Chain A
Amino acid sequence: GAVVSQHPSRVICKSGTSVKIECRSLDFQATTMFWYRQFPKQSLMLMATSNEGSKATYEQGVEKDKFLINHASLTLSTLTVTSAHPEDSSFYICSAVPGFTEAFFGQGTRLTVV
């Protein structure tokens, strides 16, 4: 299947700093990518839809100024958690869809804010 690479896999940052997470589609182009958040032992919750060349669409309750999404090319979307706080600690996962087929997920990023 198609490959979606997410980096970094783990990151620890201090409270108040910003963290950038990258999501790359390695062997296909993706005009749309999705960002999910997953708390321990819970399901994946959609945060936002990232659209290449335009603004991201955020789900209700997700702060767009805190979770900045940039989809600058057909193979890269980035999620920046700004002014991170301990409550932002979570597992962040991106996905991309090659055309109209199944969605492929990145490996996830474990963010810990201390």
Chain B
Amino acid sequence: GENVEQHPSTLSVQEGDSAVIKCTYSDSASNYFPWYKQELGKGPQLIIDIRSNVGEKKDQRIAVTLNKTAKHFSLHITETQPEDSAVYFCAASGNSGNTPLVFGKGTRLSVIA
């Protein structure tokens, strides 16, 4: 089955700097890669996703890149703000709505004002 590795487990950046979180996956059949932000005591919130027919996607300060050959994808947050502090999870799955997500172990991001 699918295995998703996520690094780093913790990340501290100064406000205004960029943050990069990287994930690798094992199943070449996976073609959907979402990123979730989870705040304490809450469910995960989708922040951006990418499908295998796209190499890069951007939404304001957030971008995701995908390298299918190397089986890795990354989250980039620019101009970080204190409210970006949270745990971020990457995930991977097949394209079917019946296919569950496999999550990475998460990255605790701290943005220092």
Interface residues of A (CB under 8 A from B): 1, 4, 6, 31-32, 34, 42-44, 46, 49, 93, 95, 97-108, 110
Max chain B C-beta neighbours (<10 A), residue from A43, A97, A104, A105? A43
- Apart from A4-B43, A43-B105, list 4 A-B contacts with CB within 8 A: A34-B101, A46-B101, A105-B45, A105-B46
| Cβ 8 A contact of B46, one of A1, A98, A99, A108 | A1
Q: How far is the CA of A6 from the CA of B42 in the complex (A)?
A: 11
Within 8 A of A (CB), among B1-49: 32, 34, 36, 41-46, 49
| Interface pairs (30), CB distance under 8 Å | A1-B46, A6-B43, A34-B100, A34-B101, A42-B105, A43-B89, A43-B103, A43-B106, A44-B89, A44-B103, A46-B100, A46-B101, A46-B102, A49-B98, A49-B100, A93-B43, A97-B98, A99-B97, A100-B95, A100-B97, A101-B97, A102-B32, A102-B46, A102-B49, A103-B34, A105-B44, A105-B45, A105-B46, A108-B42, A110-B41
Query: Is B43 within 8 A of A108, CB to CB?
Result: yes
Residues of chain A contacted by B106 (CB below 8 angstroms): 42-43
Question: Considering only CB atoms, which chain B residue lies closest to A100 in the complex?
Answer: B97
When chains A and B are docked, how far (Å) is the Cα of A4 from the Cα of B101? 16
Interface size class, chain B: 20 to 34
Residues of A within 8 A of B104 (CB): 43
Complex Cα distance, B46 from A99, in Å, reads 16
